Structure 1
Amino acid sequence: MEKIQKKVEHYIEAYHMLDGVENVVAGVSGGADSMCMLNLLLQLRERYGYHLTVVHIHHGLRGQSADEDMKYVEKFCGEKKIEFFGFHYKVEELAKVWHMSDEEAGRKIRYEAFEKILGQNGGGKIAVAHNSGDSSETFLFQLFRGSGIKGLTGIAPVRENIIRPILCLDREEILEYLCENGIDYRTDETNRENHYSRNKIRNELLPYISQNINEKAAWHIRQTAEALGEIETYLEKQTDQAWQDIAEYKEGECWLDREKLNEQDIVIRKRICRRAVAQMAGKLKDITSVHIDIVLDIIRGESGRKADLPYGLEVYREYGKIGIAKRKKQEKDGQICIDCNMEGEDGKEIRCDRGAFFIKKIKNMPANRKIQEKMYTKWLDYDILKSTFQIRTRRPGDYIVVNQEGGRKKLKDYFIDLKIPREERDRILLVAEGSEVFWVVGYRISERVRITEKTGSMLQIEYIPAVAGI
């Protein structure tokens, strides 16, 4: 026990987690990790002199079991004379309202509750009970999602006012500590279920790797994450310096100096472009390497070129500058642009003067399911398509992927090959994101979103044209 406590004390000291802190709000679910953290914070309270408060969140997902969790934590706090606050939410309902997953909604309400109580107490630190295994899981989860360096840095010991005092402990050490201190804990039965990707990594993948490849694999993953964190810190400093010289905001637009940008190494160049898009969009979600490549194409191209980006943005080149801004309203009669976001939704109906689109998300597609080709019903790979796209008419710079190797064809050239009259081209609807076209409605889909044996979830889109005179 003393060895584990000393290990945590040294870890807290190394990252100055509690230096000069007057209030600590601990997020406690009642599980092994959070009960271990709570007891350690109790033991350190006299040494550091902080006021300790516990916040417990009932997510409204697990019925009586969750009720018992809250009662247990509240009783424990009462016996130890710890200030306790319990919150009850209906996460599934909130997730639908906020258009996000249950996991994302749960995290949002937890940290909002933590911040609320911390604010009432006059500020301080929020303590959450991630352990070293969580860092390994996060690394693998982000790696499989295709994350960049920043996403592979694992879980930080300290981030702003959030501290993770037991991030240095593995699961075995936590259970050993609880056993030696005679502390009971609750078990969330859903942690054993493998419906979520994180649970599959925790319950199946990491144990298999440790048992069959390298028993210290989790430790090596954490070391790699820490090294990448150091690299990310260095690259961010270099990006900050370059940004000051290259970027400027003017009348709602972000402008990049093309010549100075091209002087930078490609790594910094991409980070500058990513930062510019993210700052104009107000978020990084769904901004991928494909979109950064679009910006780089504009940088390399001739003056006057432009292309669309997610969240209603466009990128364009004007002489020696690259501009990123909200798309200007289309002035041409008959043009259509409807944003569609399927995040947190299973189905949606979209109508315009040309007809109606009926969109349905299909999860966990059966491996043997046969996909039939129909003119006005298409099935697209949702894992590649992502959650945000547009239904619109054509724009300059549009392209479609025409083969398995990723070869692109300009939409203009595709229309010419099909001998589609110029006046008809402006009326053809597209499913697109940025300048990439996923479906030329009534014609073909992009090879990049075609259903394959690797497809996990798909999007069914049915189009019913409007009938003239109705």
Structure 2
Amino acid sequence: MLANFKEHITSTMPFLMGKRLLLACSGGVDSVVLAHLCANIELNFAMAHCNFNLRGEESDGDETFVLDLASKLDVEVYVGRFETEAFAKEQGLSVQMAARELRYQWFDELLETKGYDYVLTAHHADDSLETFLINLSRGTGIDGLSGIPEVNGKVIRPLLPFSQNEVLEYANSEGVDWREDSSNASTKYLRNKIRHEIVPSLKELHPAFLQNFLNTQKHLEQTNDLASLYLNELRSKLFREWEGEIKISIAELKKLHPLDAHLYGLLKDFGFTEWEDVKNLLTATSGKKVMSKSHILLKDRDHLILSKIKNRVNVNHLVYLTEGTPDLPVQLKIEEVKTLDKQGENVIFLDKEKLNFPLVLRKRKNGDYFYPFGMEGKKKLSKFFKDEKIDQISKDKQWLLCSNNEIVWVVGKRADERFRVEESTQQIVKITQVK
């Protein structure tokens, strides 16, 4: 296996040579064998061990074992200790997902603070098969059937072409010691059930089952690459940047066949999972939306508008405004002037005595109304937006400048008649929206 591993690294991962590598080592056979292989071909690596404090003395024993292994291999070692169960409860995660999140967060910190280039993990071909079966059982697209990627950003998996049996044979032939994780024997976890009950049965079907799976997976990866090229080209035609959002023509989407597959391919990277709801947006009324953890997809007349949630401001968010306040969500210049100049969408003049300072910038709320400048009587803000043909995204973005919660200015759109400058006005305030 050593010769094959060296050939694999030099032919497919030559970028690892000469780099500073961080090898994730649990103490189990896979990561211990990876450490020995990397040492034998003289890669420049240190080890990182996570103690999740889930198995008491057994976890502490794993930590001691990894420290001893690092000493034998003469490499640096880092140990991260985590209160995993407390973190899982706090974040509302399963213990397994919490451990994964803690592990990779810590790896990222080590890469950044210690100057390492890549993290090496010991996933092998059997792990990839298990992941394939898990994704298959849950329902997934072709990307979920492509298994574990060998290279995923800074995470590298150099053992993926090798089977669990090859790893074990190397460990036994070379007299490599390792630690057994007692939780790996439990079939209460889905992965372990697949590992111990399903995969052995599949391998009995054909002696070359695992190799055939790897060949099939390679074909799936290549097909996925071709689909990605097509979808990227399609996105460049259909997705239009618009005020920091993405605007997509519904009419153009409806021309795509099969529609379901195209919607999935075009939008899956934005975190959506409720695909029937996404499809229904095409025929829904304006204002309907579907949300993922990171994005909102909104129906607005003849378009879908895709926006990042983190760029959207809470409707109830208040920003108090006083003269000279920096870093406002809307840049406003407030000054006292002697005479009126030209008033427009971005410039208003107000009677200072009619205002109560500090003014407030806020977003719209139900029941808002104002007295549009140049008109008689009040008007609901919702009616004003409708008459001005303002779309849903722009409504959500719209800032209102208020005095005692009364709208002074629909910023950049229309001032309120109640605060206008009159002949009796003694002090004039000029407010300019600085673009």
What's the CA shift string for 1:130-160, capped at 9, x where partnerless?
1110010000000001011111110111111
Partner of 1:316: 299
Q: Give the deviation of 1:113 after TM superposition.
A: 2.0
**Letter of the 1:13 counterpart:** T
> Identity over the aligned pairs, expressed in percent?
24
TM-score (norm 2): 0.66
Q: Give the deviation of 1:19 after TM superposition.
A: 4.1
Checking the alignment, whether the CA contact within 8 Å between 2:284 and 2:299 is kept in structure 1 is: no
Give yes or no for the alignment of 1:215 onto 2:207. yes
Quick check: which has more Rg, 1 or 2? 2
Partner of 1:102: 95
Give yes or no for the alignment of 1:143 onto 2:125. no
1:71 pairs with one of 48, 54, 64? 64
**Letter of the 1:141 counterpart:** I
Structure 2 stretches lacking a partner, 5+ long: 317-435
Partner of 2:20: 23
Partner of 1:294: 277
Measured in 2, the distance between the counterparts of 1:200 and 1:120 equals 38
Measured in 1, the distance between the counterparts of 2:250 and 2:292 equals 22
Measured in 2, the distance between the counterparts of 1:259 and 1:216 equals 49
Measured in 2, the distance between the counterparts of 1:158 and 1:308 equals 32
Measured in 1, the distance between the counterparts of 2:123 and 2:108 equals 18
What's the CA shift string for 1:261-313, capped at 9, x where partnerless?
334443662235524xx53xxxx2xx33xx223333332x3774735445584
What's the CA shift string for 1:184-242, capped at 9, x where partnerless?
1100011010111000000111112222x333333333322222111111111211111
Partner of 2:230: 238
Checking the alignment, whether the CA contact within 8 Å between 2:278 and 2:290 is kept in structure 1 is: no
Q: CA 1:6/1:108 → structure 2, altered by over 3 Å: closer, same or farther?
A: same
Measured in 2, the distance between the counterparts of 1:150 and 1:102 equals 26
Measured in 2, the distance between the counterparts of 1:76 and 1:329 equals 52
Partner of 1:165: 158
**Letter of the 2:168 counterpart:** L
1:123 pairs with one of 106, 116, 124? 116
Note the 1:218-367 alignment, pairs <5 A.
218-251=210-243, 253-266=245-258, 269-271=262-264, 273-275=266-268, 279=270, 284=271, 287-288=272-273, 291-299=274-282, 301=283, 304=286, 306-311=288-293, 313=296, 315-319=298-302, 321-325=303-307
Q: Give the deviation of 1:181 after TM superposition.
A: 1.6
Partner of 2:29: 32
SS of residue in 2 equivalent to 1:316: strand
Measured in 1, the distance between the counterparts of 2:135 and 2:284 equals 36
Partner of 2:412: none
Measured in 1, the distance between the counterparts of 2:313 and 2:102 equals 36
What's the CA shift string for 1:395-439, capped at 9, x where partnerless?
xxxxxxxxxxxxxxxxxxxxxxxxxxxxxxxxxxxxxxxxxxxxx
**Letter of the 2:278 counterpart:** V
Checking the alignment, whether the CA contact within 8 Å between 1:23 and 1:118 is kept in structure 2 is: no
Q: CA RMSD in A?
A: 2.6
Measured in 2, the distance between the counterparts of 1:270 and 1:149 equals 14
Checking the alignment, whether the CA contact within 8 Å between 2:297 and 2:304 is kept in structure 1 is: no
What's the CA shift string for 1:323-347, capped at 9, x where partnerless?
245699999xxxxxxxxxxxxxxxx
What's the CA shift string for 1:28-72, capped at 9, x where partnerless?
011110111000000111xxxx53100011111011111111101
Note the 1:54-93 alignment, pairs <5 A.
54-93=47-86
Measured in 2, the distance between the counterparts of 1:21 and 1:159 equals 19
Q: Which is worse superposed, 6-15 or 50-59?
A: 6-15
What's the CA shift string for 1:72-119, capped at 9, x where partnerless?
110111122110111111111111112211111111111222222222
Measured in 2, the distance between the counterparts of 1:255 and 1:266 equals 21
Q: Give the deviation of 1:26 after TM superposition.
A: 0.2
